[in-house]
Structure 1
Amino acid sequence: MNGYGRSPVSPVEWAVVESAIGPLLLAGTDRGLVRVVLHAEPRVRERALAQLRDHLGAEPAESASGLLTEAVRELAAYFAGELREFGLPLDWTLSSGFNRQVLRELAAGVPYGTVVGYGDLARRVGRPTAAQAVGVAMGSNPLPVVVPCHRVVESHGGLGGFGGGLETKRRLLALEGVLPEPLF
Structure 2
Amino acid sequence: MTVYATVDSPLGELLLVGEESASAVGGTALVSLSLPGQKGAAEIKDDWRCDPGAFEEIAGQLRGYFAGELRHFAIEYAPGAGTDFQRCVWRAVEEIPYGETATYGQIAERVGAAGAGVRAVGTAIGRNPLLVVRPCHRVIGADGALRGYAGGVERKERLLGLEGALVS
The TM-score normalised by the length of structure 1 is 0.79
In structure 2, runs of 5+ residues without a counterpart are none
Q: Secondary structure at the match of 1:90?
A: coil
- For the aligned residues, what is the CA RMSD? 2.1
CA contact (8 A) 1:102 1:125 kept: yes
Q: Could you tell me how far apart the structure 2 residues matched to 1:71 and 1:96 are?
A: 25
CA contact (8 A) 1:16 1:40 kept: no
Alignment of 1:38 with 2:32, yes or no, is: no
Deviation at residue 154 of structure 1 after TM alignment:
0.4
- Match of residue 19 from structure 1: 9
Find the partner of 1:86 among 73, 87, 97. Answer: 73
Q: Deviations for 1:136-183, whole angstroms, at most 9, x for unmatched residues?
A: 011100001000010000011111110111110000000000158xxx
Moved >2 Å (runs of 4+) = none
1:16-165 superposed matches below 5 A: 16-29=6-19, 30=21, 32-39=29-36, 48-50=43-45, 59-63=47-51, 66-107=53-94, 109-129=95-115, 130-165=117-152
Q: Could you tell me how far apart the structure 2 residues matched to 1:100 and 1:60 are?
A: 25
Q: Deviations for 1:60-118, whole angstroms, at most 9, x for unmatched residues?
A: 21015x321111110111001010000111113332221111002211x1011010000
Number of aligned positions between the proteins: 158
The TM-score normalised by the length of structure 2 is 0.87
Q: Deviations for 1:7-26, whole angstroms, at most 9, x for unmatched residues?
A: xxxx2110011101111001
CA contact (8 A) 1:74 1:83 kept: yes
In structure 1, runs of 5+ residues without a counterpart are 1-10, 54-58
- Match of residue 164 from structure 2: 177
Q: Could you tell me how far apart the structure 1 residues matched to 2:132 and 2:7 are?
A: 13
Percent identity for Structure 1 against Structure 2: 41
Q: Could you tell me how far apart the structure 2 residues matched to 1:15 and 1:179 are?
A: 33
Deviation at residue 128 of structure 1 after TM alignment:
1.1
